[in-house]
């Protein structure tokens, strides 16, 4: 805050969000290791873990782990496909709770957000009481627990929220900021990756406090990142909580059961992916201008190609048309495809008009999408799918 008042930045992180929703909705899953992600196919699955319950984490299962490895570690786990429509509905309900406490909200993913309660905490009994009430209200509305960290900076608040999961509450006062950060491992710094951490460790720098004590010359090997990391380690983080929709992109991926070079399979999969992305964009009232195609070839070589449109869209056929163009222009060097992904970014509200002139094709597309959505809403998402598209993505 520019007036010199101590900031109260809160980071709210939902606990094992997807898995917790499944356990909430099916009491038989409570206390069991629940793993959300691709079908493990008895240890032969080729996708990854999206998230997992804390019971599954005791077996060493974690997000982004190959699903085959998760099955080997926890064959008795309950493996479920993600239900993004249900998760996004829960995320929207949680966001509504946040607005009960402050207008200053920065949603950074479907299951976490920053809140600035500096101006509003006095209305709820002070910063500590406000944090407790946020946790209680989220639980009341959704039946889910969250972990909360509060500190004078975004970096420290995010670190604090992670220290006592699940259902944690950690508060850091301004006067305690450096003593809080000092003993922690350098990897706790948001944005500091494994390679940078390894380079620092090779120089005997393992904790945030040790990094904070370094001179500029000692960190010169990091280039421009050196001064920024040192400032973060010293508790310097002037970033404000920025309001607005924190969703940066909407995308979906498919990992094939076996690497493929079959053009029909690829085209069907791309159409199904574009349809899924379109549905998620529309459910969130969004459209986007940039379409990105992700291709992973055999041998795990991964590439992305993107195109930015003149006008934003959330229509399946438009997204698919450009994704296909990107695919056809991509040189595969006769290698088979392991994974395909489609993402739409540069998002904006779906009702934002970018042109004074109405496109009759867009009107027809809009009516078609609404008809499809009405059928899926009434009879289920498998009731109708686009010709030439795979049913299951």
Burial of 263 (0-12, 13-18, 19+ CB in 10 A): exposed
Distance spanning both ends of the chain, measured CA to CA = 46
CB atoms near residue 109 (< 10 Å): 13
Whether a cis peptide bond, with omega within 30° of 0, leads into 166 is yes
Is residue 49 within 8 A of residue 18, CB to CB? The reply is no
Annotated active-site residue 112? The verdict is: yes
User: 263-283 and 360-379 helices cross at what angle (nearest 10)?
Assistant: 90
CA 77 to chain centre: 23
∠ CA 193-196-198, rounded to 5°: 105
The encoded tokens of residue 94 equal: 């949680």
Catalytic residue among 112, 210, 321, 331: 112
Polymer length in residues for the chain: 393
DSSP-H helix ranges across the chain: 17-25, 54-57, 67-73, 84-99, 127-142, 154-161, 177-181, 194-201, 208-212, 225-233, 263-283, 316-329, 360-379
Q: Which are the catalytic amino acids? A: 112
């Amino acid at each position: 805050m520019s007036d010199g008042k101590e900031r109260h930045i809160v980071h709210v992180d939902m606990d094992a969000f997807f898995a917790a929703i499944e356990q909430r909705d099916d009491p038989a899953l409570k206390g069991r290791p629940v793993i959300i992600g691709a079908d493990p196919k008895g240890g032969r699955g080729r996708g990854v873990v999206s998230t997992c319950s804390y019971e599954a984490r005791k077996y060493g299962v974690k997000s982004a782990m190959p699903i085959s490895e998760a099955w080997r570690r926890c064959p008795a786990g309950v493996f479920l496909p993600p239900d993004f429509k249900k998760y996004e509905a829960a995320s929207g309900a949680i966001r509504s709770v946040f607005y009960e406490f402050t207008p200053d909200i920065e949603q950074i993913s479907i299951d976490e957000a920053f809140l600035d309660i500096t101006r509003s905490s006095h209305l709820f009994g002070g910063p500590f009481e406000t944090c407790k009430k946020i946790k209680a209200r989220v639980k009341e509305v959704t039946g889910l627990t969250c972990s909360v960290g509060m500190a004078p900076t975004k970096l420290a608040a995010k670190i604090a929220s992670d220290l006592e999961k699940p259902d944690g509450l950690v508060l850091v006062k301004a006067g305690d900021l450096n003593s809080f950060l000092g003993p922690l491992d350098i990897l706790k710094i948001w944005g500091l990756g494994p390679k940078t951490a390894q380079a620092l460790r090779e120089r005997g720098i393992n904790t945030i406090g040790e990094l904070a004590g370094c001179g500029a010359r000692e960190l010169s090997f990091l280039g421009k990142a050196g001064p920024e990391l040192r400032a973060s380690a010293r508790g310097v983080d002037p970033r404000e909580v920025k309001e607005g929709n924190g969703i940066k992109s909407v995308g979906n991926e498919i990992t094939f059961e076996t690497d493929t070079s079959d053009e029909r399979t690829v085209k069907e999969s791309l159409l199904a992916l574009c349809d899924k992305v379109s549905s998620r964009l529309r459910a969130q009232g969004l459209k986007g201008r940039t379409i990105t195609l992700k291709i992973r070839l055999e041998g795990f070589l991964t590439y992305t190609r993107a195109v930015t449109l003149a006008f934003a869209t959330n229509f399946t056929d438009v997204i698919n048309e450009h994704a296909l163009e990107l695919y056809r222009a991509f040189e595969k060097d006769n290698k088979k495809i392991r994974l395909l992904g489609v993402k739409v970014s540069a998002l904006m509200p779906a009702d934002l008009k970018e042109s004074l002139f109405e496109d009759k094709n867009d009107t027809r597309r809009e009516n078609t999408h609404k008809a499809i959505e009405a059928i899926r809403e009434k009879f289920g998402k498998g009731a109708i799918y686009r010709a030439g598209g795979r049913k299951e993505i």
